[in-house]
Amino acid sequence: MNLQHNVQETESGMRIDQLLSSFDEIVSREQAQRLLKSGNVLINGKIELAPSRKIRAGQEVQFTIPPQESANLLPEQGTMEILYEDSHLIVINKAAGVVMHPSVGHYSGTLVNYLMHHCQDLSGIGGVLRPGIVHRLDKNTSGVLVVAKTDVTHLHLSKQFKQHTVKRQYQALVWGVPEKKHGVVNASLGRHPVRRMDMSIIENDAQEESESKKRKNAVTHWRVLQRFEFAALLACRLETGRTHQIRVHLTSIGHPIIGDPQYGKSPFKRLSCISAELSQTITNFRRQALHAELLGFIHPSSGEWLEFKAQFPDDFQNLLIEMQRAEAKL
């Protein structure tokens, strides 16, 4: 696919990868950066490799989206809870512990492997290792996600995610009890300058364009559903969908998610009122207590608004019940 675009006055000063990712044919900035690094983008007829290159009005941008290479992925039979399926897409309640797609250290047993066994073909626009994947959930986060079966569906859903029109709500069990009933965390996220596997809040900075200061706007709305002596159940609605967004945002306001090994430093040792049963339940809960309970979007073919909801998995439900029992005894 070959495309051409003349830079407008309103686009002058943008990064080239930002401009490219604004086109419907390119589903993410990561894909735009791959196109640049592979020599598939030209500015005024010259190959541009730098994602951070600023563009100017009047420049001609040409880019080529090459056909997908065949992925060396093997279909595998695995358990998937399917909430909805038609010829365009499939909605799944992902179990905690399932990796989304193959990567270093996870070449099999992923959701993509299971999908390839279940579906005859998947959209390839997400990349050779991510066919059909429109959005992601962390390995140890459970809940609802949608997968595209065709490229047209993939582009349509990706556009909805880009425009933040998709409805996404999570529930999380967090340490501590918020004083307010609800609130908003509006804080940009970027890679941690030292711990490169972690995300962190990035404040406004003159050097934000440097590698360690790249940031993306992120907004999380939260409200308290249930209060306990030492913890709370929150509903979190996303305006944006950044990597580890809820986990970092809740930690930043002093309420890390219970069980989160990466961001959830718990005050557990300071809690003397916890029963032995609850203590054991929390100790055995070896993942973040985060569940993507609701997903809503416009069907790319019918135009109908669809919403899907997934109940808590057993481990999350058991933890919540044990907390409620402990609270009733106080």
Please state, rounded to an integer, the average pLDDT across all residues of the chain: 87
Q: How far apart are CA 194 and CA 280, in angstroms?
A: 34
Residues belonging to the chain: 330
pLDDT digits (tens, 9 = 90+) for 46-92: 999 999 999 999 999 998 887 655 556 788 998 999 999 999 999 99
pLDDT above 60: residue 283: yes
Domains and CATH numbers, the chain: 2-64 (3.10.290.10), 81-162 (3.30.2350.10), 167-303+311-329 (3.30.2350.10)
Bridge partner residues of 219 (DSSP) = 186
pLDDT above 60: residue 223: yes
Take residue 40 and report the two structure tokens written for it. 């598939």
Q: How confident is the model over 259-272, as a mean pLDDT?
A: 71
Q: How many CB atoms lie within 10 A of CB 37?
A: 13
Take residue 9 and report the two structure tokens written for it. 């006055």
Q: How many CB atoms lie within 10 A of CB 229?
A: 12
Which residues are designated catalytic?
Answer: 138
pTM of the predicted model over 0.85: no
Tell me the CA end-to-end span of the chain in Å, nearest whole number: 65
pLDDT of residue 109: 87
pLDDT of residue 194: 76
Pairing type for strands 231-238 and 219-227 reads antiparallel
Q: How many CA atoms lie within 13 A of 21 on its CB side?
A: 18
Q: How far apart are CA 288 and CA 278, in angstroms?
A: 16
- Where is average pLDDT lowest: 23-27, 39-43, 60-64, 142-146? 23-27
CB 291 within 8 A of CB 142: yes
